[in-house]
Amino acid sequence: MLDRGGYATLRAVADHFLYWLSHDVAELETLRDRLRVLEQTGSVPRHPAEIYDDDVLKALERTFPGGSITISHSRSDSVPDFILQRNERRVLVETKWPADPDRPWRVSTIHALVDSLHPDDRLLVITNARDPAPVKRRLQ
């Protein structure tokens, strides 16, 4: 039998699990919808995260004239989506697009990138999450 503290701990773990499970279900529903379109039309619509990355790239091109922008085609957690470089300075840009902007993205996806940073690198994370504070706290 669980005492009050054990029940509270169990409830917190269950709530956390359900929170992330609902995110995974939303991603699976997006995938299902894209596959349905593929079956019906023979082509796959672009994923909203791809469209988001394209919009970020256009904004970077407008706000970073005179520098070079390298686009990563890797989907590795340790490689940023974009690298901005001017002379010896570089800024790594990582985009995070959670399907539900009311929920923060999983901070675990950025730890490998943070661990691979050179001391002179700067990291800019761009997200559509309405409140990135929980992620910021977990990275500090």
pLDDT band of residue 11 (cuts 50, 70, 90) is low
Q: 131 and 68 share a domain?
A: yes
Please tell me the predicted confidence (pLDDT) of residue 60.
94
Task: Report how many domains make up the chain.
Answer: 2
Total residues belonging to the chain: 140
Distance separating alpha carbons of residues 44 and 34, to the nearest angstrom? 6
pLDDT band of residue 23 (cuts 50, 70, 90) is low
What values do phi and psi take at 85, rounded to 5? -140, 135
pLDDT band of residue 83 (cuts 50, 70, 90) is very high
Distance separating alpha carbons of residues 59 and 27, to the nearest angstrom? 26
Domain that holds residue 106: 48-139
Q: 37 and 91 share a domain?
A: no
Q: 61 and 4 share a domain?
A: no
Q: What is the largest distance, in Å, between two alpha-carbon atoms of the chain?
A: 66
Q: 126 and 64 share a domain?
A: yes
Alpha helices in the chain (DSSP H): 4-41, 48-63, 108-115, 133-139
